[in-house]
Structure 1
Amino acid sequence: MANKTKKTRVVHIITRLNTENTDGAAMMLYKLMAHTDRNRFEPIVLCLDGEAELSNRIRAHGINVYSLDMHHNITAGWQIFKLTRLLRTLQPDILQGWMYHGNLAASLANLSLGNHYPVLWNIHHPLHDISKESRTTRWVIELAAKRSTSPAHIIYNTYLNADQHNTIGYSKQRNLIIPNGFDTQLFAPNAYHRDNVRQRLGIPNDAFVIGLFAHYHPVKNHALFLEAARLLLQHKPQVHFILAGREITSLNPKLRYLLEHIPKQQHVHLLGERKDIPNLLNALDLYTLTSTYGEGFPNSVAEAMACGIPCISTDVSDVARIIGNTGQRLPIQDTTPSALAFTWLEWINAGEAWRKEVGSRAVQRIQQLYSIPTITEQYQNRYQSLVDQEQMTAMPLLTT
């Protein structure tokens, strides 16, 4: 009877598994776990924090998750000893760190084990200004920079993130760019959801609808979006706007102030935090991102594209690489409310047939370059390459 091929055991060490961290690393790890080829790989997740939203969702895929409750003191000797002891039991083939604390913990534990395993780091967090990070996080970032030659690769989800970290001392030679991946079955064109959402919101089926889905934060620049909406409504009073995200409600005094200047407030739909984002995206004719800086990977742009919705975005992060020729980028410094309103007007006047053709190209682009199976295979190819290198190194030399 033939021997079964040994599976590669990859132990993922992540800071926390809640979905509130804005860089989306935990959700990306979850999607990677859900699509890992279990015939070739055996993933295990170690969470430095306690139990969280994604812990049981990962376990539901038959993957072990350990919650270690050591997030706030990862460099203490006894904590590293605790992690090291667990790793000796698990006997991984590869250590994959996620987020700053998880990356550092992976390398320190590996150091205590004699650097026995290949290590990868994963950084999804944009680093626009390190001085704005908390003192503890800043200390971990700086300590990790000094140890950034220890991992085999540092995986960034955008080229901008890589450049920002290289600037503060992270090893450029370790750079590896693997973008976020998306479920193109969940995020897909759907005529039923388009009609259903519009009906529930009281939006006429033939109205032109523009959306922005992002939590409230000055960096997202909702003020730019709503002022442009006010200007556009002066020329196109039938247009509707859908906004969703944490604190995107009329109870937010800053949004309420902005709405006071819009004559047709009933055309601006503030939906708050929602779980049905694929449905809402399908109700749109255009998606717009108005961020000024600080974006990591702009997930909402890729999700809208996967639903066949053309995107207009300020030129932040890796938007240019994501959109390609399927939307429009606006220079941040030149994007005034009047410029954005005029751009919207151009897309309205271009006609439905042209927008659908652009939307179709957007769907194809996401399916080809950013689908979660495609991105998962990029991770798995890197894991396999590291295992092959380890085996070649361990192989005895043949002598004649």
Structure 2
Amino acid sequence: MDILHTEASCGWGGQEIRILSESAGMIARGHRVALACPPEAPIAREAPAHGLELIPLPIGRKRLPGLRALRRLLSERRFDVVNTHSSTDSWLAALACASLRDAPALVRTRHISAPIARTASNRWLYARASAFVVTTGESLREEVIRRTGSDPQRVVSIPTGIDHERFAPADRASARAALGLPADRFIVGIVATLRSWKGHRFLVDAVAPLADPELLLVIVGDGPQQEALARQVADGGLEGRVRLVGQRTDVPAWLQAFDVFALPSYANEGVPQALIQAMLCGLPSITTTAGAIGEIALDGRTALVVAQQDSAALAAAILRLRADPALRASLGAAARAHCLDGFTRESMLDRMEDVFRRAAAARAVR
């Protein structure tokens, strides 16, 4: 198949990483994949390294030049499927396709759990303009159906799949030695873009009052909240107990070095990639019920689930895992087993490939 992804966002996070990972997997399966995005977007810099054809277009805003550019591309190139990802490019692609006689099938992937406004325009976009809607979690799928009136048969939950061979348990001491982390500390870690709704500040607040000199919080990632978090750590005198290490590409090694993974998100989540990665590494995790997290975080079975925006609950969960090595081991083993059953990269590719084929087939009949 000839597949075109569109992405209007000029940010960087799990959404962009999924597009690249999924696209590279489809290319490996013999499909032709291109990406249309603003030339200044971070994903534009990364796309060639993943084998994608990059098509720079002015689609960062809902404006006429972007619509014209996308319409021109779709009229000149015969794509089988257009897979859109953000609101802006979804609207531009839907309008472009609606104005063409022989348009490709439109698949709208919705990555986040923010509410969808109940408007006639959204009902058109989701229920009529899109051949299929893909969500990254079952609760997001139910939200789309409930708020847009879309046919349930054309709304599919396909969580982001992770490479279970790359993200796997490994020797913790070796990982720490390679990263320069102390061998004798109990390390709670988080790997996530520093956005407000990821809940980093509550995690720092949770660690601050704990009287445990061996406890160390390691924060991997960068983003809009970097300065605020650095200030929070400095103001609290926590420099020896909290480390912000910035953006890293060697994510598996960091996860393999942790004792516990924490992700206290309180909004906008599907099934977070970082949490799946941590679970596949066999880490006991502390998280919340935000978005579709409940599909992998089963309280007391595959993770400890705490209330959102609750530093005291986070602290209690950290102390519980600190004191109970057997619980840490059982949660980590169960987490990996659960994620191997449906949250791997190959599972995602199989299901996305099926959606693309069905969308393209429906277009051919039309």
Structure 1 SS opposite 2:79: coil
Work out whether 1:35 is the aligned partner of 2:25: yes
2:263 equivalent among 264, 289, 293: 289
Match of 1:87 in 2: 74
Distance 1:28 1:71 in 2: 19
Moved more, 294-303 or 27-36: 294-303
2:283 equivalent among 309, 326, 338: 309
Change (3 A) 1:84 1:250: closer
Counterparts of residues 151-300 of structure 1 (less than 5 Å): 151-165=130-144, 168-169=147-148, 171=150, 173=152, 174-191=154-171, 193-196=174-177, 200-201=180-181, 203=182, 205-232=183-210, 234=211, 236-246=212-222, 247-248=225-226, 252-257=230-235, 259-260=236-237, 265-300=239-274
Distance 1:38 1:241 in 2: 38
Distance 1:79 1:224 in 2: 40
1:362 equivalent among 329, 335, 352: 335
Cα offset, 1:129, TM superposition: 8.7
Contact kept in structure 2, 1:99 and 1:125, CA below 8 Å: no
Distance 1:116 1:251 in 2: 47
Q: Which has the larger radius of gyration?
A: 1
Change (3 A) 1:38 1:304: closer
TM-score by length of 1: 0.78
Distance 2:243 2:78 in 1: 52
Contact kept in structure 2, 1:308 and 1:363, CA below 8 Å: yes
Counterparts of residues 342-353 of structure 1 (less than 5 Å): 342-351=316-325, 353=326
Distance 2:54 2:195 in 1: 33
Match of 2:348 in 1: 375
2:58 equivalent among 55, 69, 84: 69
Unaligned runs of 5+ in 1: 1-7, 131-137, 395-400
Unaligned runs of 5+ in 2: none
Match of 1:50 in 2: 39
Match of 1:326 in 2: 302
Match of 1:135 in 2: none
Contact kept in structure 1, 2:20 and 2:50, CA below 8 Å: no
Q: Which amino acid aligns with 2:352?
A: Y
Change (3 A) 1:345 1:125: closer
Over the matched positions of the two proteins, sequence identity in percent amounts to: 21
Moved more, 297-306 or 308-317: 297-306
Distance 2:174 2:311 in 1: 32
Change (3 A) 1:142 1:280: farther
Contact kept in structure 2, 1:104 and 1:144, CA below 8 Å: no
Contact kept in structure 2, 1:181 and 1:374, CA below 8 Å: yes
Structure 2 SS opposite 1:323: coil
Cα offset, 1:311, TM superposition: 0.5
Q: Which amino acid aligns with 1:194?
A: A
Match of 1:122 in 2: 109
Cα offset, 1:354, TM superposition: 4.4
Distance 1:214 1:40 in 2: 32
Cα offset, 1:168, TM superposition: 4.9
Which whole-Å deviations, capped at 9, do the CAs of 1:278-332 have from their partners, x for residues lacking one? 2221111111122233334422211211221111112211121122432111133
Structure 2 SS opposite 1:309: coil
TM-score by length of 2: 0.85
Match of 2:48 in 1: 59
Contact kept in structure 2, 1:188 and 1:308, CA below 8 Å: yes
Moved more, 313-322 or 30-39: 30-39
Which whole-Å deviations, capped at 9, do the CAs of 1:128-165 have from their partners, x for residues lacking one? 597xxxxxxx9xx9844443222111111123434555
Structure 2 SS opposite 1:185: coil
Structure 2 SS opposite 1:87: helix
Cα offset, 1:109, TM superposition: 1.5
Q: Which amino acid aligns with 1:71?
A: G
Change (3 A) 1:389 1:347: same
Work out whether 1:15 is the aligned partner of 2:8: yes
Match of 2:89 in 1: 102
Contact kept in structure 1, 2:230 and 2:244, CA below 8 Å: no
Cα offset, 1:41, TM superposition: 2.3
Change (3 A) 1:313 1:220: same
Structure 1 SS opposite 2:162: coil
Structure 1 SS opposite 2:261: strand
Structure 1 SS opposite 2:197: helix
Distance 1:292 1:145 in 2: 27
How large is the Cα RMSD of the aligned pairs? 3.1
